[in-house]
Structure 1
Amino acid sequence: MSTEILPVATPAQVRAYARRLTLRHPRALAGALGLHALAAVTGLVAPRLLGDLVEGVRDGGAHIDRAGLAIAAFVVAQGVLVRYAYYASARLGERVLAELREEFVDRVLELPLSTVERAGTGDLVTRTSRDVDALSTSVRYAVPETLVAAVVVAFTAGALVLTGPLVALPCLVAVPLLWGVMRWYLPRAHAGYLRENAAWAELTDGLTETVHGARTVEALGLAERRHARGDRDIAASYAIERYTLRLRMVLLPVIEIGFVLPVAATLLVGGLLYVHGHASLAQVTAATLYVQQLIGPIETLLNWLDELQLGGASLARLLGVGEVPPDRTPNGRRPPGERITARGVRYAYRPGRDVLHGVDLDLRPGERLAMVGPSGAGKSTLGRLLAGVDGPRAGEVALGPDDGDGHAPDGRMPLVELPLDELRGHVALVTQEHHVFRGTLRDNLVLARPDATDDELARVLAAVDWDGPGLDAVVGEGAAGAGAKAGAAGTGGETLSPAQAQQLALARLVLADPHTLVLDEATSLLDPRAARRLERSLAAVLDGRTVVAIAHRLHTAHDADRVAVVEDGRVTELGTHDELIAAGGSYAALWSSWHGAGSQRESADLR
């Protein structure tokens, strides 16, 4: 299965979303900008008063005490206004960030499972961690600071022009320099930060796979190969981070030069204008102070611009999650029945490389069907299609009525036309990979049915031969899969063994009570005797339900009503255990090989 990076939103989509998100709170935005504008205006009074003071000192009519008190009053007023302006900006930023996070969680939960698996864990984990953190910094600090700086620059530039158009002209000397460097920097930075985040996703994906499959890596001697993969991912991440660093090494020195030039030019040109009588000393003084005052907000704008580029790239990746097309199109109709049929089913993980080739299969209501075959034959893929997790590339997997003749007539409804919530009420899939959520055992169980009583929970636990902690015991978070523990070591929860996690998943399934169950190696983590006992217990509880059991242990096939042999993406044999043994085909050879090499204990269980 190839790894694919989830979609990334375009710059236009990012700008449109940011605009919509901000304008959801027009009053709060107007209030914050108004306070910042008042703070900026009060900050513009002091330079003008100082200019008049210098002029007055030269003329001998300066009122130093009065000017000093006025300057102090405006400085204090500016400090108070800035305090409340930043408070209003922070509140607005936190509100916007909370809404953005909630929408992102909704988008993630709506992702088709097949898309998540193709993308791998690294890309999604990077988006939910690194990208969210980067965006949080932008929303909390970069956006408010940038807005404040923009307001201050606008009002200061206006005051500078009002002071005297001629003395204001020299500050424009830095505009071509700054405009040119920003035009060079911005497109490169946006693309660079997108590649940087994608490189982090690849690195995270590789590390996650290595950690989760540590025992497999060790058993198969893959340590050097995984080490080499990690080195390649780190090198790629290092290279792209060096690229974005080089961009900043060009940007920042040019910005520093752009700060010095306007002040020097204003002093020089302003002095010449004063000497030739085209500007007063007060105008030159005030203009120089205004230009000096512009350095702070412009520096803030340009410094945060880099953070905004990173935040914009992160927002594009977060919004891109919502660009994944749905894998089902609910039609609003009710299913005409509970019989699942597959007709001409084809499926491919990669375009042009089908792993299922025209599979036809009818599931009889209430039967137990075992699917067996060699690894990689397509059993799990077919199970996922029968459970509605994936949709076929061609053909149809549908729910339909039962005509009583062992065939489903016309009028079937494809599983992909059922809403996901309703689909899970009809058919459910349990694999050997399970998650134990941090909380009580009761909390983990009632995920399947929130209104379940303790008596019902005790019944389903008994059905899976539960021998673990009680309903009020706190169990931990973690995934239990092939060789991995589902536990919470160090989190305060009781660690469940992989077998207990598997029992817990089966108990949830019994509680959900769908009419069709697909069990993909659902008891593989139990020892053969315990698995045998559990399957017998489940058979009693699930009597009347349709069960598709994908297994390597052939005693599951021995007990099933029918057996489907899957080879090379096709159902090559279908019938009862006795019929397939009598036919002398692939199943008979598989049974003979397994039964002859099986342990005495499993043979005794079969008898």
Structure 2
Amino acid sequence: MSRLPVASAREVRAHARRLALRYPRQLALTVFLYALATVFGLAAPWLLGQLVEDMRDGTAEVDRTTLLIVAVLVIEAVLVRGAMYTSATLAEKVLAELREEFVDRVLALPPATVERAGSGDLVTRSTRDVDVLSRTVRLAVPDSLTALMTIAFTLGALVLLGPLLVLPCLVAVPVLWAATRWYLARAREGYLRQSASYSELTDGLTETVEGARTVEAFGLAGRRAARADADIARSYAAERYTLRLRTVYLPISDTAYMMPVVAALVFGGWCYIEGLVPLSAATAAVLYVQQLIEPVDRLLYWMDELQVGGASMARLLGVRGEPAAAVPAQVRNGGGQDIAVRDVRYAYRAGSDVLHGIDLDIKRGERLAIVGPSGAGKSTLGRLLAGVHAPRTGAVTVGGTPLADLPLERLRREVVLVTQEQHVFSGTLRDNLVMARPDAGDDEVRQALMAVGAWEWAGAYGLDARVGSGGTELSPAQAQQLALARLILVDPHTLVLDEATSLIAPRVARQLERSLAAVLEGRTVIAIAHRLHTAHDADRVAVMVDGRITELGTHDELVAKGGDYAALWHSWHGRAVAN
């Protein structure tokens, strides 16, 4: 199964930089507060060093020095609290923008891209990856920033005490550099593979749950369980790989950053004995090196989280549609063009075409019915005509422009596909309708509901009635009526109706289709139907068999011809066809 793309490491870094720089003042204030807190944090070891020096000389003012140390620690705590507040506020703003951008990217994806990728990948990105990135932005980034500043300022303080006192810190550099280089070379791909395994697992479980009745009816429980076991095994292997990286990297790092403490004690004592540095400097240097352990430990701890967050951000940024192609002026400025299908072939799997050389011309304002036995390719052709899929070969054009080249927003204003599978969104009845056209008033909403025969029940509920999850549950037939009412509000020039009234009682469906025909007069309507009265009312009928159009003409012409359509018509009416 095709997966959605993943952004490169360079794209992730560039995007993170752009997000942070959108709030330069708040970022500068955060950095300033952390820096100031770090400076005050360095004062306590220096004061302790001075206290040791003074006690040796017998001039120590313990009370005064103690009060200074307490004051410094209180100021540091206040500054840290302020820095944490500003960084948390900044993180929430950045996270909100990331979420909004992700939703925009998801909504801009072509439906065919989503179908190829499967729901599991998208669900995992919109849930687990967003949660992981949330933790990274809120906690890992600000804490890592604090740790880096503390390390930098502490090393600077050591240089001021005496350049020689920095040398013990260099003991750990080769070990940390080699271990970190080894870890980073493997971590990104490991965490991307781990996230992808979650997508496959979610995809398989979602399919099993959604198709539970089919699984039970055909006795597929064993096969679905085997699929779940295989997905869990892959996820387990991916988790074990990243765990192995951590179990190698973290112990080495923990050992490495303890080495400078021992070296500082030995080297600082030697420098004092040799008279190279005063006792206060040697004492402060040991305390500074000891103080380095905590920020280095935090940095190493968050290093792993930053890798996980970077992988999640790469997956979120990877959700993007293809760039919009240039659209000719005649298509940009006016709809209602003729649709042409030329030598179209399409395959869901490579080497297995389900459409074979389809040629079809649909005039503006024409009502075309597509009929044929199950599995003939009717719905597939409907999806190509609606721009959901692009043909493998050949072209589907509107006004001479391939549908695949139209920007998605423009395409959905021009061509709308309505199927028998409809979703009722959580909200009011009005919300479910005006999402199709936000500027629609209540009178227009009522007219749309009346046109599809839904006002009787919708009026009883009221437009402010909550439906969907947490509200009134609508029947499948009512959900289809809502979808058709949305269609009327959108008012596209071309409609593709794929069994759009199949869940409504036949007599009611017949009345509804006649009402729609009157309301949509002048629009191009392509109806894919099993109920042949739809074909009887159409201007022309296209008969599909085995992925090919075998007949094309009016209802009367095709019945008189005595071919495939006539057989379907007589069979639908319960009459045998004479040999």
Aligned counterparts of 1:468 and 1:371: Cα–Cα separation in 2: 31
Aligned counterparts of 1:524 and 1:222: Cα–Cα separation in 2: 27
Aligned counterparts of 2:53 and 2:544: Cα–Cα separation in 1: 96
> Does the 8 Å contact 1:327/1:390 carry over to 2?
no
Q: Which residue of 1 aligns with 2:416?
A: 428
Q: Which residue of 2 aligns with 1:32?
A: 30
Q: Does 1:468 align with 2:457?
A: yes
| Shift of residue 313, structure 1, vs aligned partner | 0.3
Q: Which residue of 1 aligns with 2:396?
A: 397
> Normalised by the size of structure 2, how large is the TM-score?
0.93
CA offset digits 1:526-578 (Å, max 9, x no partner) = 23333333323323333333221112233322333321112232211111233
Aligned counterparts of 1:499 and 1:205: Cα–Cα separation in 2: 28
Query: Which amino acid in the other structure matches residue 576 of structure 1?
Result: T
| Aligned CA-pair RMSD | 2.2
Aligned counterparts of 2:194 and 2:396: Cα–Cα separation in 1: 41
Q: Which residue of 1 aligns with 2:115?
A: 117
**Which is further off, 442-451 or 195-204?**
442-451
Q: SS of the residue aligned with 2:319?
A: helix
CA 1:529–1:214: 2 relative to 1, 3 Å: farther
Q: Which residue of 2 aligns with 1:310?
A: 308
> What are the equivalent positions in structure 2 for 1:5-16 lying under 5 Å apart?
5-16=3-14
Structure 1 stretches of at least 4 aligned residues deviating more than 6 Å after TM superposition: none
Aligned counterparts of 1:55 and 1:457: Cα–Cα separation in 2: 84
CA offset digits 1:222-269 (Å, max 9, x no partner) = 222222212211221122112111211222222221232221221122
Q: Which residue of 2 aligns with 1:62?
A: 60
| Shift of residue 303, structure 1, vs aligned partner | 0.5
Query: Which amino acid in the other structure matches residue 472 of structure 1?
Result: L
Query: Which amino acid in the other structure matches residue 38 of structure 1?
Result: L
| Shift of residue 145, structure 1, vs aligned partner | 0.7
> What are the equivalent positions in structure 2 for 1:375-454 lying under 5 Å apart?
375-400=374-399, 412-454=400-442
Aligned counterparts of 2:77 and 2:442: Cα–Cα separation in 1: 60
Aligned counterparts of 1:495 and 1:152: Cα–Cα separation in 2: 57
Aligned counterparts of 1:163 and 1:366: Cα–Cα separation in 2: 86
Q: SS of the residue aligned with 1:307?
A: helix
> What are the equivalent positions in structure 2 for 1:244-323 lying under 5 Å apart?
244-322=242-320
| Shift of residue 151, structure 1, vs aligned partner | 0.6
Q: Which residue of 2 aligns with 1:525?
A: 503
Q: SS of the residue aligned with 1:469?
A: helix
| Shift of residue 509, structure 1, vs aligned partner | 1.1
Between the two proteins, the alignment pairs up a number of residues equal to 571
Aligned counterparts of 2:298 and 2:392: Cα–Cα separation in 1: 53
Q: Which residue of 2 aligns with 1:325?
A: 322
Q: Does 1:84 align with 2:62?
A: no
> Does the 8 Å contact 2:110/2:408 carry over to 1?
no
Query: Which amino acid in the other structure matches residue 497 of structure 1?
Result: S
Which structure 1 segments of 5+ residues have no match? 401-411, 478-487, 599-607
| Shift of residue 332, structure 1, vs aligned partner | 4.0
Query: Which amino acid in the other structure matches residue 330 of structure 1?
Result: V
> Does the 8 Å contact 1:445/1:508 carry over to 2?
yes
Aligned counterparts of 1:60 and 1:266: Cα–Cα separation in 2: 26
Aligned counterparts of 2:31 and 2:441: Cα–Cα separation in 1: 54
Q: Which residue of 1 aligns with 2:153?
A: 155
Q: SS of the residue aligned with 2:369?
A: strand
Query: Which amino acid in the other structure matches residue 331 of structure 1?
Result: P
**Which is further off, 344-353 or 568-577?**
344-353
CA 1:393–1:331: 2 relative to 1, 3 Å: farther
Aligned counterparts of 1:327 and 1:383: Cα–Cα separation in 2: 23
Which structure 2 segments of 5+ residues have no match? none
CA 1:372–1:328: 2 relative to 1, 3 Å: farther
> Does the 8 Å contact 1:329/1:416 carry over to 2?
no
Q: SS of the residue aligned with 1:435?
A: coil
| Shift of residue 130, structure 1, vs aligned partner | 1.0
Aligned counterparts of 2:389 and 2:323: Cα–Cα separation in 1: 11
Query: Which amino acid in the other structure matches residue 150 of structure 1?
Result: L
Q: Which residue of 2 aligns with 1:165?
A: 163
Q: Which residue of 2 aligns with 1:339?
A: 338
Aligned counterparts of 1:73 and 1:578: Cα–Cα separation in 2: 97
Aligned counterparts of 1:468 and 1:86: Cα–Cα separation in 2: 54
Q: Does 1:556 align with 2:544?
A: no
Q: Which residue of 2 aligns with 1:459?
A: 447
Query: Which amino acid in the other structure matches residue 293 of structure 1?
Result: Q
Give the percent of matched residue pairs that are identical in Structure 1 and Structure 2.
65
Aligned counterparts of 2:164 and 2:409: Cα–Cα separation in 1: 70
Q: SS of the residue aligned with 2:526?
A: strand
**Which is further off, 29-38 or 209-218?**
209-218
Q: SS of the residue aligned with 1:301?
A: helix
Q: Does 1:572 align with 2:550?
A: yes
CA 1:366–1:17: 2 relative to 1, 3 Å: closer
Q: Does 1:98 align with 2:87?
A: no
Q: SS of the residue aligned with 2:541?
A: strand
Q: Does 1:586 align with 2:564?
A: yes
Aligned counterparts of 2:451 and 2:47: Cα–Cα separation in 1: 85
Query: Which amino acid in the other structure matches residue 171 of structure 1?
Result: C
**Which is further off, 211-220 or 419-428?**
419-428
Aligned counterparts of 2:83 and 2:291: Cα–Cα separation in 1: 19
Q: Which residue of 2 aligns with 1:604?
A: none
Query: Which amino acid in the other structure matches residue 53 of structure 1?
Result: L
Aligned counterparts of 1:474 and 1:222: Cα–Cα separation in 2: 40
CA offset digits 1:485-532 (Å, max 9, x no partner) = xxx2xx2x1000111101110111122222321100111222333333
Q: SS of the residue aligned with 2:457?
A: coil
Aligned counterparts of 2:104 and 2:435: Cα–Cα separation in 1: 18
Q: Which residue of 1 aligns with 2:478?
A: 500
CA offset digits 1:172-228 (Å, max 9, x no partner) = 222222212111111211111101111111111112222222222223322222222
Q: Which residue of 2 aligns with 1:601?
A: none
**Which is further off, 49-58 or 420-429?**
420-429
> Does the 8 Å contact 2:179/2:252 carry over to 1?
yes
Q: SS of the residue aligned with 2:359?
A: strand
Q: Does 1:107 align with 2:105?
A: yes
Aligned counterparts of 2:334 and 2:402: Cα–Cα separation in 1: 9
| Shift of residue 301, structure 1, vs aligned partner | 0.7
> Normalised by the size of structure 1, how large is the TM-score?
0.89
Q: SS of the residue aligned with 1:552?
A: coil
